[in-house]
Amino acid sequence: MQEFTRINLDITINSGQVFLWDKIDGVWHGVNGTEILRVKQDPFEIISSQKKPSDFFRQDDNMEKILNKISSDNIVRTAVERFPGLRLLRQDPFQCYISFICSSNSSIQNIKQMLKRICQKFGKKIDFDGYEFFAFPAVEKLAKANLKDLLSCGLGFRAKYVKTAAMSVHSGALEFNFLKKTDYKSAKEDLKNIYGIGNKVADCILLFSLEKLEAFPIDRWTQRILQKYYSKKFFGLIEKSLTEKNYESIHKKIVEYFGPYAGYSQQFLFKMERELNKRNWL
């Protein structure tokens, strides 16, 4: 196996993309929609509870080409050299959608807790690999959930977002399969019409579950990164607050500069900066 195709599970799973993964007896197990995945590092092996091949790790991406392309930027190249096994993931869209709605103004620990409780309360129990798991709930389950039950999962003010957002999917107002096919800009507009979704959350959903590799989520960390390493390149944009118009013009410049795989660039930069400022966020 070539070095650039080698996926590092620890690094990838601990890169802020997913929240429902645990290492059990040295083997990673995670919830992806209705399936449970069991993933071993060496030799690399993915087993799904649904006994179907999984493309969760985007094994179809041409990493040689992508890494080569994004490495034309020196900072990104450094990050790629440091974390060559980092990958974007291809998540179940509904789970990703709800996960990042829950992420607003919260910490990773807290997000994990909320999502775990949501699964336990609303998801189907699955026995797999000798362990007990809870799948991510069906759309209908969350769309019809009581606000009270959602609150008991620790969602707080996000409970109403989750309920409403699930209803939008259930009613057919929002269609993930359509968003996958349509272009970045219009998919993003559709997502942002959902109660509880702004620019940052929309970009996470687009990048992590809807095949939009040019999405570049800008949060506090990304802002810090842009200010630290790219203040000259994006002069006049990043020191302002992230207003609606400003976010859009930054993103435009970002795609101009980082290219069509800007989302991959973001993931590497993000990982490097988080690691640099490492505290207790695992």
Q: Which residues bind DNA (CB under 7 A)?
A: 15-17, 103-110, 113, 151, 154-158, 161, 192, 194-202, 204, 217, 219-221, 240-241, 243-246, 270, 274, 280-281
Least distance to DNA, CB of residue 161, Å: 7
If the CB atoms of residues 49 and 163 are measured against DNA, the closer one turns out to be 163
Least distance to DNA, CB of residue 275, Å: 11
If the CB atoms of residues 74 and 280 are measured against DNA, the closer one turns out to be 280
If the CB atoms of residues 211 and 275 are measured against DNA, the closer one turns out to be 275
If the CB atoms of residues 49 and 168 are measured against DNA, the closer one turns out to be 168
Least distance to DNA, CB of residue 21, Å: 12
Among 197, 188, 190, smallest CA distance to 160 is for 197
Token couple for 14: 């601990």
Token couple for 8: 């590092």
Which CA distances in Å does 270 have to 110, 152, 209, 221? 20, 32, 18, 7
Find out whether the peptide bond into 93 is cis, omega within 30 degrees of 0.
Answer: no
Least distance to DNA, CB of residue 77, Å: 22
CB burial readout 54-82, b (16+ within 10 A) else e: bebbbeebebeebbebbbebebbeebbee
If the CB atoms of residues 108 and 255 are measured against DNA, the closer one turns out to be 108
Locus of tokens 């399936």: 35
Among 208, 211, 206, 254, smallest CA distance to 15 is for 208
Least distance to DNA, CB of residue 242, Å: 8
